[in-house]
Structure 1
Amino acid sequence: MDRTEWLVEEFEGNRAHLRAVAYRMLGSVSDAEDAVQEVWIRLSRTDVSDVDNLAGWMTTAVSRVSLNVLQRRKSRREQLYGTVADDGAERATAMAPDEEVIMADSVGSALLVILDTLAPAERLAFVLHDMFAIPFDEIAAIIGRSSAATRQLASRARRRVRGVDQPAPIDVAQHGEIVDAFLRAARTGRFEALLELLDPDVALQADDTVVASGAAPELLGSDAVARTFTGRAHGARPVLIDRTPGAVWTVGGRPRIVFAFTIGHGRITGIEMIGDPERIGTMEFTDISGINNDR
């Protein structure tokens, strides 16, 4: 058996598994098929002679492809469930109708709706660990985070799926007050006040652009996050980011770092520091001043 025949045999032997992973990640039969085909392209162009676990290699590949798709969807503000309902069946030419029904039934439309509310990294952590029993260390390598942070993502997703952490409508005024109080406490160096505003398990994440400027890629826990912000954030101002309270640091009138806050039960549970100019360019900023006076 030559190399090509061997690769085809290995790929076809894992196709159903790869398609199952991609479908649970993407919720669209056609997108899942596209992701699986992308894995074949990568496999056929890569020297895998030294790979001990080729099935694991392909699972990692399809996970990364699916994660990229989810991140692009998020940036374009697409609604995945509408895509599935509107044109998924029409575009799914690579799968027979009965297979498509079986695939959909194996997940359930209700679960897909909930999965669509998760952030891409949360969805990947939950799907790979809870549905396919992939260890957190391996998942962490895919999403570029620590094993502890990945475990936290899966836990948060699991609560959402179980209905324990269903998102309530955002109280913009209340969340705006929390962000404003956080920035004021940071500027004035009030460490204890910051701790009061932060959830004990708060996670701080920074993208590659912010990390390149000297920030840590991630911090876990209220103590570490509070120490990082104590005496800082002098140039940041509260704003609405796509109608959600957050903050932005500008230089020469241009936003350089965006602080996206996740708030639950009156405390900050997550902060994402974004410096990627392309990603920032997709955001809409609105002055938050006066919001609290409208309550």
Structure 2
Amino acid sequence: MSSANPTYRLLIALVLAVALMALDQRSRWGDPIRYAFGYLAAPMHYLAHLPVDTARWVGSQTHSRQELVESSQRLQRQVLILEQKVQRLAVLEAENVRLRELLNSSANLDASVLVAEIIGIDPDPNRQELVINKGGRDDVKQGQAVLDSQGLIGQVVEVGPLSARVLLITDASHAMSVQVNRNGVRAILAGTGQGNRLRLLYVPDTADVRKGDLLVSTGLGQLYPRGYPVAQVVSVSHQSGAAFAEIQARPNAHLDRVSHVLLVQSMEPVSLPDARLPEGGSTETSPAPGHTTSDNVEVPDAAQ
């Protein structure tokens, strides 16, 4: 009889586990418990990221003097180029403000952003998710848009006290409204589960969408701020007799190389130039406005 007790205990534990999983799947009763366990999970994320940080520190300490001199000279050249671009952006912003005043339209050109570091990646090949080192204590909200210097990355789907999970735009379950920056044609951009491929859904075969077109967020549904770059069209296929065109796109954001991201804390629109690529060519995309290099600071969309 005593030898059967462990078996009964195991069966009871399995039944309870299955019941709890089913209840958690169909209701949100476990959210407070999951939030509390975030305090225990956060140190694990930091410990998992510790070898990478240690390797970076060791690498930075072993740079030769010549490498540091060359890096300093390269950065000085880049600073000069960026300062020239900032001057041009200041002129464009002033012209934009004057035009808005002529139209009797008030505009808030500032976008509040929060800088976060990626500390984990979902190992499940069927999920395209990241873990960042900002959470509820930093005023991170579920549904908040996340981007890097090149474009939108995804959206916060789960918030813990010290960390949050971000669903990437390439996830197979993700879809968002976009429009062609060249002519304003709207469509639905869906993930494919692959890190460098997206597709446009239900675009009529006669729609004016070309290879190289820049796709930007529309802001419809208030899921993402309007006017941020999302992807570039890489192929447009027309099949005889088909009602819809087969259109593939590539994310603007460097999803496989980014280490720091921006969390947009305002839904103000931004203005973008026509960044459509020439047929068969390529070009670098402009950094998304409103980014900064310090945490939780207000940075204008265009240089002041």
- Normalised by the shorter chain, which TM-score bucket? under 0.3
Larger radius of gyration: 2
TM-score by length of 2: 0.23
Higher relative contact order (CA 8 A, sep 6+): 2
Higher helix share: 1
Higher strand share: 2
